Amino acid sequence: MMRLPFPAMFTVLMAAMIVLAFQGAPARAEKAATIEQHSREALALLLQQSEAAKRLADDASGILVFPKIVKGGLIVGGQYGEGALFKSDDVAGYYSTASASFGLQAGLQTFGYAIFFLNDDGLKFLDNSDGWEIGTAPNVVLVDKGAGASLTTTSGRGNIYVFFFDQKGLMAGVTVEGTKITTINPE
């Protein structure tokens, strides 16, 4: 029987714990009213702080908002958050976002992000996929503050735009590629 060295055993154990924690996450979903309230507040703040987001919101077929995502790691990392999809200011569904990562990382961070779907094709991709990975979606554009200043619906090349906001904590960098978005049914 082969024995794994301690660092490898530790990494495997941490990965298993993260996977198990995320599998039970939808069962612990916040109540729908709380998710909606936090998502509306976060979207209002984003639209107030970003002219680009405000311009895109007028043309969006839907906006999926994750107001607070907690990301942490020590060699093995993970993140989780819950949010609401808005279509014409009505809630059209509730979603969770989760990911796991491996590598040289340490720290804890919270942040939020909003995904603007500029046409029905992007929304169909969200609706028809069984758990959605942002990195696999067609025509996704990550908008940073510098690029957002000159962004218009005609200057962008994608039909899905992602805005990050309210970043706090000690972890460097934020990425959404590989982040899984799944429908949830909060109580």
12-37 tens-digit pLDDT: 545 545 544 444 444 445 599 999 99
pLDDT at 86 over 60: yes
Integer angstrom CA distances of residue 85 from 39, 133, 155: 9, 16, 25
Task: Check residue 156 and give its pLDDT.
Answer: 42
Q: Where are the domains of the chain?
A: 6-184
What percent of the chain clears pLDDT 90, i.e. is strictly above it?
33
Please answer whether residues 83 and 36 qualify as being in contact, where contact means their C-beta atoms are separated by less than 8 angstroms: no
Would you state the pLDDT for residue 109? 86
Any residues with CB less than 8 A from the CB of 76 and at least 6 apart, and which? 11, 14, 15, 18, 100, 101, 102
At 149, is the pLDDT very low, low, confident or very high (cuts 50, 70, 90)?
Answer: very low
- Provide the pLDDT for residue 126: 81
Dihedrals φ, ψ of 34, to 5°? -70, -45
**What is the pTM for the complete model shown?**
0.74
Amino acid of residue 186 = P
pLDDT digits (tens, 9 = 90+) for 158-176: 688 889 888 887 665 455 5
Contact between 116 and 60 (Cβ < 8 Å):
yes
Inform me whether the pLDDT recorded for 10 exceeds 70: no
Supply the pLDDT for residue 87: 96
At 177 the pLDDT is 52
- Whether residue 153 is predicted with pLDDT greater than 50 in this model: the reply is no
At 6, which helix (H) or strand (E)?
A: helix 6-23
DSSP states along 100-156? EEEEEEEEEEEEEEEEEE-SHHHHHHHHHSSSEEGGGSTTEEEE-HHHHTT--TTT-
